[in-house]
Amino acid sequence: MKPIFTFILLTTCFISPALAQQIGIGTTSPTSTLDINGTIRIRGGSPGAGKVLTSDANGTASWKNENFAAFRTNGLLDGETITLVQNGWKKILYNQVPQYNYAYGYSGLSGNFIAPYKGLYHFDARVDLLDQQWEVHIRLMQKRGNSTWEAAYLKNTAISTSGNGVTQLHNLLISTDLLAEQGDTFWIEAFSYGGPNIRVNGATKGNWFNAHMIKAL
């Protein structure tokens, strides 16, 4: 029986290659090289719940954990207002209890987000001022190893009011996409050029800091 089966297999694959160009499983009319009408089970490549099937440069497939990270926190630490430093940068400490914290990249005590995976991330940060001020800046800082730089920067914008000189917007918002290596650290800072008593509102509705992964790399 075994020699007969071997003969049939060789005949199908080698003697008549035209018949083997399209193989159907669960269908007698395949339209692709391999046409499967039904479910697929791949036992190799270390399968597991929640894993995704990926490929290397040679097309060899394997199962990988899906890399995803996201967090959002509203309001300031303990709901307290923050008084900015005159002519100096001050770190904004947001609520230490985030609404969500997938992959646990956000640390409430430090106010830092540490990228759990390499990838492209989207960041949003809002600082709500209680006092009018001619010039307040905010920035999103990024640190990698021993290097630290401004990843995003925003300067407060003045708006004119008829007959009343100039007043200031009371909030600043950063929204940007950034490439992060695994382990990169991010946080928010604010700067006041004016008086020493410019305050940031501690209310949850006025301030937030969040990020989510757009694509793992």
Dist. CA 124–CA 122, nearest whole Å: 7
Q: Which residues contact 214 (CB under 8 A, 6 or more apart)?
A: 119, 120, 121, 122, 177
Taking the chain (217 residues) in runs of 10, the rounded mean pLDDT of each run is 50 48 87 86 76 79 83 94 91 96 95 97 94 84 98 75 57 95 97 82 90 95
pLDDT at 93: 96
State whether 204 and 150 are in the same domain. Answer: yes
**One domain for residues 78 and 171:** yes
What residue has token string 């005590």?
A: 109
Is there a single domain that holds both residue 128 and residue 101?
A: yes
Query: Is there a single domain that holds both residue 59 and residue 76?
Result: no
Chosen domain end from 45, 65, 85: 65
If you average pLDDT over every residue of the chain, what do you get? 84
User: In which domain, by residue range, is 176 found?
Assistant: 70-216
CATH code of the domain containing 79: 2.60.120.40
Return the amino acid letter for 185.
T
What total number of domains does the chain contain?
2
Q: What are phi and psi of 16, to 5 degrees?
A: -125, 70
Whether residues 60 and 153 fall in one domain: no
Q: What percent of the chain has pLDDT over 90?
A: 47
